[in-house]
């Protein structure tokens, strides 16, 4: 496709197809417009051509009646001997003209039907209807025209018109004559029309109009199809031209030509001016063709057909030239956009860019508060001026509306930048320290704030990485040290067990062996807790979650710890719901959590008190709470109690390692639950929440 895109022959072919298709589109478009009137009219007698032909016939008939009256008056004068010497020649000329009119209006030569009556409708002066043929039956739509006949002169609507001189008079020629010579005008009514159903048996303008009406209706679909098809081809060729614009063979980027060296606004002004001229010529030609086609004399004139076809071709040429100019403008615009030089090659854009850059640099040096104050002050002054002038001048009111629209767009841009800044802040605050706010096309002050946040994010990310590295180092250190302690500790325990199996005569030696045994076991437990705490905090423990009965697990744990709790005089109070309570957890880790909580009670609870164990379920969760009264004052916050190596008894006189609660919380979180502590005075409460299983 890239080779085809840069092929010169393909580009020339695309331009040829574009201009040819545009030429055809213009021709078919003009034909479709000219024939649309026939399609829009339900009957051929509703067209403008028909009304023009009927009006011409009506005027011609009235002129014929006038000629007949003049001939009668001239013949009377000849009989009376008062006629001029040239009256005989005039009478012959009038007879020839009347004969021509009678021939044109004879029933055999035209579809036009008429009859002339006096205003009372009783006297018939002339008609081309058959005997006993009614006008209403011969013609579906009957037209009426009333006029006055003054001794051979005709007055229409009390207005005299002389067709020979083309002059009109407000008063009839008899005005000003003596009363003896004045005559009353003859009031006449002309009824006329054309049958709706005609054929080609009589060749006149009406048969031509009827034939053209049928031809237009039959050809309109073809004209419209041709217009739409060639229009689509024109658009496709234009798309191809724009797609291949600026692409050369063997080049990657956009290739500019001499057109792109011209400033775009000047280029566009020249092309648009040419486009306006071409559009005006196209409209003028189409209008001339339309009104010419509506003229009945043009229809009957054979020379007009040649002019009509030539005019249609000319309109198509104007349309193709207009499309070509528009394509040139769009092509250079596409090349400039592909090359990224539209702003650089636009004179107005260069001037505006320079002004904006100058104002932009000046505003950047101002403090943020002064920017707001000065901007608001300028807005108030300009708005007041535009409103005051806009009362008398619509251009200023339009400028005021443009200012409001510009301000709305600026505020929307600023609000969108602020929204991006807020979303980025939330993302960073949520823990994604690697996130960087996109500062492109962001307002200057917001961009500075976003860059500062990005720098803070980078610093925090580095600090967190350092902290994570330190945590990993400590976890690895604990794991390695614990592993290194296991081997000698195992040997110590084994040798202590061997000493215990021997008979010792010295009571002190037996006591020392007992101390060694107790301390070595405690050291072993501490080492195991260290390893487990390290693995739990780093999340390297494997978790297999499954459906587990919580009540059954608690009963097993109580069975193991009940004796130890009784030895410490601790009364156990349980509140378990009826039926089994199922949770979605890892049984091995959950057992360790419950075991650590009961171990914590046995070590730190006050003797003679009660230990409460409650199990609740609901809303898709199961909550296990363990409450007891501390033996020593709890002067440590609840969050600190869950840290490693922290015990509520600061004297550290007990056997606890300070890792039980930390391990319990880590194991609970690994199973998708939560672990919380609550301290109220000496009351200690641990809450384990896990997802409920169905």
What is the per-residue pLDDT across 386-403, written as a single tens digit (0 to 9) for each?
Answer: 888 877 887 888 888 888
Question: C-alpha angle 47/48/54, rounded to 5°?
Answer: 95
Sheet with 674-680: strands ordered across: 571-575, 610-618, 621-629, 683-691, 674-680
Q: Could you tell me if 181 and 241 lie in one domain?
A: no
- Looking at residue 168, its pLDDT comes to 39
Per-residue model confidence (pLDDT) at position 428: 78
Q: Do residues 51 and 38 both lie within one domain?
A: no
- pTM equals 0.45
| 627 lies in the same domain as 560 | yes
Claim to verify: residue 35 and residue 48 sit in the same structural domain? no
Same structural domain, 311 and 393? no
Give the pLDDT of residue 542: 74
> Is 535 within a domain?
no
Range of the structural domain that residue 548 is part of: 541-691
Nearest Cα neighbor of 124 from 205, 51, 68, 188 is 188
Cα atoms found within 13 Å of the Cα of residue 190, Cβ hemisphere only: 24
Quick check: is 243 in a domain?
Answer: yes
Domain end position, chosen among 385, 401, 429 = 429
Helix, strand counts (H, E) of the chain: 18, 14
687 and 546 together in one domain: yes
For 129-251, strand residue ranges (E) read 143-150, 153-156, 159-162, 167-169, 186-193
Assess if residue 411 is contained within a domain.
yes
Q: Is residue 470 part of a domain?
A: no
State the Cα–Cα distance between residues 435 and 458, nearest whole angstrom: 9
Whole-number pLDDT of residue 1: 59
Low-confidence ranges of the chain (pLDDT < 70): 1-6, 83, 121-123, 151-183, 249-251, 290-307, 363-366, 368, 471, 474-486, 525-526, 528-541, 635, 637-640, 642-658
Q: Are residues 61 and 158 in the same domain?
A: yes
Residues linked to residue 686 through DSSP beta bridges, in sequence order: 626, 677
Choosing from 384, 410, 429, the residue where a domain stops is 429
Whether 417 and 281 map to the same domain: the answer is no
Considering the domain boundaries, does residue 201 fall inside one?
A: no
Nearest in space to 254 (alpha carbons), one of 312, 149, 340: 340
Domain stop point among 175, 195, 215 = 195
Q: Where does 262-358 show beta strands of DSSP type E?
A: none
Nearest to 626 by CA among 664, 579, 569, 656: 664
Please state, in angstroms and as integers, the Cα–Cα distance from residue 656 to each residue in 522, 568, 647, following that order: 9, 16, 8
Do 191 and 55 belong together in one domain? yes
In the prediction, which pLDDT does 295 show? 56
Yes or no: say if 595 and 649 are a contact pair by the CB < 8 Å rule.
no
Residue 175 shares a structural domain with residue 304: no
Indicate whether 641 belongs to any domain: yes
User: Which pLDDT score is estimated for 626?
Assistant: 92
Residues 60 and 101 in one domain: yes
Burial of residue 660 (CB within 10 Å: 0-12, 13-18, 19+) is buried
Write down how long the chain is: 694
- The verdict on 15 and 49 lying in the same domain is no
Maximum Cα–Cα distance across the chain: 190
pLDDT value of residue 229 = 92
* Residue 445 counted as domain residue: no
102 in Cβ contact with 67 (< 8 Å): no
* Domain count for the chain: 4
* Per-residue pLDDT reduced to its tens digit, 182-208: 557 778 888 899 998 888 888 888 888
Write down the pLDDT at residue 169: 40
* Residue 627 included in any domain: yes
- Predicted confidence at residue 235, as pLDDT, reads 92
The label of the residue with tokens 């704030």 reads 449
């Amino acid at each position: 496709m890239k080779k085809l895109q840069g092929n010169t022959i393909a580009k020339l072919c695309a331009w040829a197809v574009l201009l040819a298709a545009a030429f055809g589109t213009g021709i078919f478009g003009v034909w479709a417009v000219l024939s649309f009137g026939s399609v829009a009219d339900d009957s051929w007698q509703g067209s403008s051509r028909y009304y023009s032909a009927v009006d011409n016939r009506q005027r011609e008939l009235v002129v014929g009646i006038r000629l007949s009256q003049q001939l009668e008056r001239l013949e009377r004068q000849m009989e009376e001997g008062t006629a001029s010497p040239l009256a005989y020649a005039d009478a012959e000329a009038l007879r020839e003209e009347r004969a021509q009119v009678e021939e044109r209006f004879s029933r055999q030569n035209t579809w036009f039907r008429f009859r002339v009556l006096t205003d009372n409708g009783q006297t018939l002066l002339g008609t081309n209807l058959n005997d006993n043929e009614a006008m209403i039956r011969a013609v579906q739509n009957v037209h009426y025209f009333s006029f006055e006949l003054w001794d051979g002169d005709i007055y229409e609507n009390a207005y005299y018109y002389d067709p020979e001189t083309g002059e009109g008079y407000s008063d009839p020629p008899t005005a000003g004559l003596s009363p003896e010579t004045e005559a009353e005008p003859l009031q006449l009514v002309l009824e006329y029309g054309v049958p709706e159903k005609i054929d080609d048996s009589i060749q006149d303008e009406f048969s031509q109009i009827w034939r053209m009406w049928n031809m237009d209706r039959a050809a309109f679909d073809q004209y419209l199809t041709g217009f739409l098809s060639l229009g689509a081809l024109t658009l496709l060729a234009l798309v191809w031209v724009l797609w291949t614009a600026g692409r050369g063979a063997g080049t990657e980027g956009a290739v500019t030509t001499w057109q792109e060296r011209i400033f775009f606004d000047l280029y566009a002004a020249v092309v648009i001016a040419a486009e306006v001229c071409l559009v005006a010529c196209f409209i003028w030609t189409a209008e001339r063709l339309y009104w010419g086609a509506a003229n009945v004399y043009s229809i009957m004139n054979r020379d007009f057909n040649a002019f009509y076809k030539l005019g249609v071709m000319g309109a198509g040429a104007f349309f193709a030239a207009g499309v070509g100019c528009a394509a040139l403008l769009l092509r250079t615009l596409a090349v400039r956009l592909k090359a990224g030089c539209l702003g650089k090659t636009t004179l107005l854009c260069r001037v505006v860019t320079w002004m904006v850059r100058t104002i932009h640099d000046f505003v950047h040096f101002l403090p943020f508060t002064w920017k707001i104050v000065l901007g608001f002050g300028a807005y108030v002054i300009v708005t007041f001026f535009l409103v005051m002038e806009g009362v008398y001048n619509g251009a200023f009111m339009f400028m005021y509306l443009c200012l409001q629209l510009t301000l709305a767009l600026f505020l929307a841009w600023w609000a969108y930048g602020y929204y991006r800044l807020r979303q980025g802040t939330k993302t960073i605050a949520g823990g994604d320290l690697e996130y960087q706010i996109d500062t492109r096309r962001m307002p200057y002050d917001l961009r500075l704030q976003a860059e500062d946040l990005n720098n803070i994010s980078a610093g925090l990310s580095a600090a967190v990485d350092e902290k994570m590295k330190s945590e990993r180092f400590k976890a690895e250190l604990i794991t390695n040290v614990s592993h290194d302690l296991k081997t000698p500790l195992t040997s110590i325990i084994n040798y202590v067990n061997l000493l215990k199996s021997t008979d010792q005569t010295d009571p002190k030696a037996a006591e020392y062996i007992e101390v060694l045994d107790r301390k070595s076991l405690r050291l072993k437990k501490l080492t195991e807790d260290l390893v487990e705490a390290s693995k739990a905090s780093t999340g390297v423990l494997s978790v297999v979650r499954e459906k587990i009965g919580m009540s059954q697990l608690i009963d097993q744990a109580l069975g193991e710890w009940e004796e130890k709790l009784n030895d410490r005089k601790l009364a156990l109070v349980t509140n378990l719901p009826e039926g089994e309570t199922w949770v979605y957890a890892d049984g091995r880790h959950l057992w360790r959590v419950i075991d650590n909580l009961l171990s914590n009670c046995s070590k730190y609870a006050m003797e003679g008190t009660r230990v409460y164990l409650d199990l609740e379920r609901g809303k898709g969760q199961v909550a296990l709470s363990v409450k007891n009264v501390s033996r020593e004052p709890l002067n440590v916050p609840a969050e600190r109690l869950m840290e490693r190596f922290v015990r509520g008894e600061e004297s550290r006189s007990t056997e606890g390692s300070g890792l039980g609660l930390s391990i319990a919380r880590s194991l609970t979180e690994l199973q998708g639950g939560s672990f919380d502590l609550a301290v109220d005075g000496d009351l200690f409460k641990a809450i384990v929440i896990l997802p409920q299983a169905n």
